[in-house]
Structure 1
Amino acid sequence: MTGGRVRLAAVVAALGVVFAFGTWAAWDFVIDDAFITFRYSANLADGHGPVWNVGQDPVEGFTNFGWMLWLSAYAAMGLDLVVVAKLTSVLLGIGVLLMLLHHARRSSGLVAAVVAGACFAVFLPTYFHLGSGLETMAFAAVVLRATIVGLDVLAGREVRPWEPPLLLLVAGLLRPEGVLAVLPAFAVWLWQRRRSREALLWTSLAAAVGLAYFGWRWSFYGQLLPNTFYIKFGNLDSGSRWLELTAAMLGPLALLTAVLLWRRPTRAAGALLLGVVAATYATYAVSGPTMDYVHRFAFHAFPVLCLGAGLAVGSLGRRWAYPVAGVGIVVWTALAGVVPRDLPTIVNYGEDLRRAHVAIGQGLARADVPRAERTLAVSDAGAIPYYSGWDSIDYIGLNDEAIARGGDRTSIVRRAHPTVIVVTSTSPVLPDTAYGLRVSEATTGYLHVAQLKMRDGYWQNVFVVPQWATQVASAVSHSGEEAMRGHDPGRYDKTLGRWFDRLRGRT
């Protein structure tokens, strides 16, 4: 084995160790939103179609159709979707790391590969996005692959004619804004191959499939966009704040990538890389995405910035610039990954979710309540509806068209008169309103049978109609007690220290 291969093997091994440790450290994490997708996947696997409540008017309460479809195949096999989603993302994360190493080394040498791979591997949020259960890593992998294909076209390398159209299609299926994120790289390829009948044929085929899907979902759900867009997007002030936070975190990576613009041989590559980042972030900058834990939406183009930083370092002509720029950007990226304000909450989130949301959902599933009476209203429309299997009103509105369009939450819940209402509070004292629900009005005639603490400042309160109060109270209390066994009972603090203590206990 040559010296270059030995060094490359050492780099791969070192980054593999970092990646494996990060994956292990964040393995407990899963986000509540992922269970929304899981519910749609399970209903599709059971033959009911991708619906929130079986037998009711379909509503598209998710933004990741391709991810939902992928998981539905495993739901049909009876597999645990949490584990499937995590393992899929881990494999895709490994793929991202290998793509970064391979392309950066091929284009600019081993130093570029080290920088690109290290930035990805030392960024702590990488591992929480691996374990979240959502499509975050899958989408980031598709955006990166499309970018590399575009770079290959600029470098004159051979590109399979079916790959760019397929990547465009998959990106659009994974997220509605995916087409925009992949479009710059696709446009480069299509312009270069504009006289190729094969390229036009594959592009036409992908367009036909995409239009057929769009027509089907519009017909099936009756809305131009997923229902969640009417809740989560549209706040320009929030978008401006999102952009400021993202620039503070990833600005140095983008600035280093911009170094590629200074030299003619790398100018086109730099423009493509920055164009992909701009296209990916444009939707979020003008809409203000919510539920953006540890920079989830910024992560969609994060591997592209890692690649850009690696290529930029590799393009520096002076030897002293290699270690200065390379070490500097890797250290910055590592520090940027540990300073998000919500990190102390996120590192403990999986454990907290199990002893509150999961416990309530599993308790409701066990409760001796007739099928016709299994109706629920909840603000956290994830693990509770998924594990319970009950028909659910999501009074935030992600899975409710009337609420998403501005309907009065309290009136809608009152008319439905569900058997159980779950109310979130920031203390043991019940709030006057919770996510727009007027609590005392909505729960009039109900009994408050359980209160489960998720973490400091976050409680779930269970209200039940008197007829089924005893059954629900017993089942939920039993599930809550089970969840506390072996899961750090008594610790609710939002601190990194609690996470470190749990990791030490696991070792």
Structure 2
Amino acid sequence: MDITYRQTAPATLTLALCIAVMLPLFWLAYLYAVPTEDAVILFEYARNLAQTGVISYGHSGIPVEGATDFLWMLVIAGLKKAGVPEFLSALALNFAGALIILSQLKDSARRIIALIGLLFTPYLYAALQGFSPLLFCAVYVLCIVTSLRPYASFYALVLLLCLIRPDGVVWGAGLVLLRFVEGRGRHELGKELRNFLLYLCLPGLIYFAWRAWYFSELLPLPFLVKSAGDRNLILFYGYSGLYVLSAFAPIIPACLMSEDRVRLLRRLAWYFFLPCVFYSWMRLEQNAGNRFLAPMFFGTLFMLSRETKLRPMVVFTILSVLCGIKITVQTAETVAESRSEAYYYVSQDLARLNGKMLVTEAGRLAYHTNWITHDAWGLNTPQYAHKLIDYAQIDAGSYDLIDAHCKFSFLTNPIPLAANPPRSWDNLCHAMIDYVTDKQYKVFLVPLLTNGIACSNSRLCAFSSDASTRRPGCQRFDIFALSPSYAHFEEVSRLLKNRGAIDYSPTLKFEGDEICS
């Protein structure tokens, strides 16, 4: 009894310390932060499911394929039905995920190292924005734990991983393949195959078939959109490869310090080869805090925690902090400044009216208003996911308001697009602005930030298409184009002006999506 107490007491105290450190951060985020634009998109699906029983977007009332983080959305919808706000649910689930990860490490020293890594890498701050990285990584770590033992529950956990986020397939594939490769004997392989088919394949196929039937879409809309477009590095996107590299680079030197480096490197190669290729091939939009690569950090951290010596784990944590420090600072500042974003207030102002809008910023405008909302990029609107939106489709939509994050030079010189242009953000902007100018919409420029912070001093502007060219004294504005035939034209004009909007004029001094003083 005494021996058991002496063994468990330090570990329990360490978990208590972790709770004491993390809980204030999560609570402060709930009190003072606003969930980020892309996280709110899923909250929109969860709320609609809780209130109407339909998985839909933008007050359409019909099934819309876009809630790819299915189980995450389902749990938040269930909690919403019970009266728990979506953002609070997201934070609580991530907090539980962080504790699960820490609980899988074998002693206090390793948990403290992991806590330091958690605090100084971007994944925690992506969770504070309303995304699911810590819960997803907790399930991934549990998948690794069960993959090292002859448990049939391994396949059920991989299924759970895939249901939380569809890219769980990419993270789980290496674990499953390695499980078969390391199988011993025909009887053992037969048992593995049976468990694989029964606990993973069969329910996965049933879910896939149901999803295709329910949404009338074979593949998730975000996959269609993010895999399209011209790549600048043969088959890959260069900037996506940099995100992958920042997460992968610390693994090699840390593993070279391990006791059985060859075996560990081989195992991690099985784990991470497919994710590295997949994420380099995809356009990493909505990758706040490099959250898509978070399982690489926590999976490696867990594997290194099993080493006898602490040094590899310490080195990996330090290198991960250094490689991701810029992303971490940007993500943390985004959380801290989130209440300064004009979209949060403009969308709440619009909530007292009704209308129909086409948007490029598809989160808060859909969630906070009563307007029918279509996502021009296609992540949440099927008719715009398979090919780029065009003039005729915009005209058929009869939109009262068009929101676009585009370069202002396109307003000065609108360019009609040829038929079936390649999918790119610039071409999307050309299509929207060509329509706006031709139909003589009233164009307002709404500042991204409501408190006058210059974009050169704010990380909230870093998600702009021209983030690398931010200049002192300049501020990002977005286009809000209002139909002259809209019944509440004057009222919306006033509320936009009250939020700092200015009339567009070609005489303004602008660069990209910035207006400079």
Which TM-score applies when normalising by structure 2? Answer: 0.75
Q: State the alpha-carbon separation in 2 of the partners of residues 77 and 25 from structure 1.
A: 23
Task: Answer yes or no: is the 8 Å Cα contact 1:60–1:221 preserved in 2.
Answer: yes
Q: 1:120 aligns with which of 91, 97, 117?
A: 117
Q: State the alpha-carbon separation in 1 of the partners of residues 121 and 191 from structure 2.
A: 45
Task: Answer yes or no: is the 8 Å Cα contact 1:385–1:392 preserved in 2.
Answer: yes
CA RMSD of aligned residues (A): 3.5
Structure 1 counterpart of 2:330, which letter?
P
SS in 1 for 2:37: coil
Are the structure 2 counterparts of residues 111 and 57 from structure 1 closer, same or farther at C-alpha, using a change threshold of 3 Å? closer
Q: 2:241 aligns with which of 227, 230, 243?
A: 243
Q: 1:315 aligns with which of 292, 308, 320?
A: 308
Are the structure 2 counterparts of residues 51 and 202 from structure 1 closer, same or farther at C-alpha, using a change threshold of 3 Å? same
SS in 2 for 1:315: coil
Q: State the alpha-carbon separation in 1 of the partners of residues 148 and 199 from structure 2.
A: 23
Q: State the alpha-carbon separation in 1 of the partners of residues 67 and 139 from structure 2.
A: 19
Q: 2:173 aligns with which of 168, 175, 183?
A: 183
**Aligned counterpart, 2:472:** none
Q: 1:134 aligns with which of 117, 126, 131?
A: 131
Q: State the alpha-carbon separation in 1 of the partners of residues 383 and 227 from structure 2.
A: 17
State whether structure 2 residue 376 is matched by structure 1 residue 395.
Answer: yes
State whether structure 2 residue 476 is matched by structure 1 residue 458.
Answer: yes
State whether structure 2 residue 349 is matched by structure 1 residue 363.
Answer: yes
Structure 2 counterpart of 1:471, which letter?
E
SS in 1 for 2:326: coil
Q: State the alpha-carbon separation in 2 of the partners of residues 90 and 127 from structure 1.
A: 9
Task: Answer yes or no: is the 8 Å Cα contact 1:231–1:397 preserved in 2.
Answer: yes
Task: Answer yes or no: is the 8 Å Cα contact 2:65–2:215 preserved in 1.
Answer: yes
Q: How far is 1:336 from its partner?
A: 3.1
Aligned residues: 448
**Aligned counterpart, 2:201:** 207
Q: State the alpha-carbon separation in 2 of the partners of residues 58 and 176 from structure 1.
A: 18
**Aligned counterpart, 2:38:** 33
Q: How far is 1:386 from its partner?
A: 1.1
Unaligned runs of 5+ in 1: 154-158, 317-321, 482-507
Structure 1 counterpart of 2:22, which letter?
F
Q: State the alpha-carbon separation in 2 of the partners of residues 332 and 72 from structure 1.
A: 38
State whether structure 2 residue 227 is matched by structure 1 residue 233.
Answer: yes
Q: 2:319 aligns with which of 319, 329, 332?
A: 332
**Aligned counterpart, 1:504:** none
Structure 1 counterpart of 2:167, which letter?
E
Task: Answer yes or no: is the 8 Å Cα contact 2:404–2:479 preserved in 1.
Answer: yes
Structure 1 counterpart of 2:145, which letter?
I
Task: Answer yes or no: is the 8 Å Cα contact 1:258–1:274 preserved in 2.
Answer: no
SS in 1 for 2:380: coil
Task: Answer yes or no: is the 8 Å Cα contact 1:447–1:463 preserved in 2.
Answer: yes
Range with bigger deviation, 325-334 or 90-99: 325-334
Q: 2:99 aligns with which of 94, 97, 103?
A: 94
Are the structure 2 counterparts of residues 198 and 286 from structure 1 closer, same or farther at C-alpha, using a change threshold of 3 Å? closer
Q: 2:141 aligns with which of 107, 120, 144?
A: 144
Are the structure 2 counterparts of residues 37 and 113 from structure 1 closer, same or farther at C-alpha, using a change threshold of 3 Å? closer
Q: How far is 1:352 from its partner?
A: 4.1
Task: Answer yes or no: is the 8 Å Cα contact 1:120–1:306 preserved in 2.
Answer: no
Are the structure 2 counterparts of residues 328 and 177 from structure 1 closer, same or farther at C-alpha, using a change threshold of 3 Å? closer
Are the structure 2 counterparts of residues 259 and 183 from structure 1 closer, same or farther at C-alpha, using a change threshold of 3 Å? farther
Q: What is the percent sequence identity of the aligned residues?
A: 19
Q: 1:292 aligns with which of 280, 287, 293?
A: 287
Task: Answer yes or no: is the 8 Å Cα contact 2:121–2:325 preserved in 1.
Answer: yes
Alignment of 1:490-505 (within 5 A): none
Alignment of 1:330-479 (within 5 A): 330-340=317-327, 343-344=329-330, 347-348=333-334, 351-352=337-338, 355-367=341-353, 369=354, 374-425=355-406, 435-436=428-429, 437-439=431-433, 441-443=435-437, 444-448=439-443, 451-454=446-449, 456=455, 457-466=475-484, 467-476=487-496
Task: Answer yes or no: is the 8 Å Cα contact 1:75–1:81 preserved in 2.
Answer: yes
Unaligned runs of 5+ in 2: 415-425, 456-474, 501-517
Q: State the alpha-carbon separation in 2 of the partners of residues 431 and 89 from structure 1.
A: 45
Which TM-score applies when normalising by structure 1? Answer: 0.76
Q: State the alpha-carbon separation in 1 of the partners of residues 344 and 243 from structure 2.
A: 32
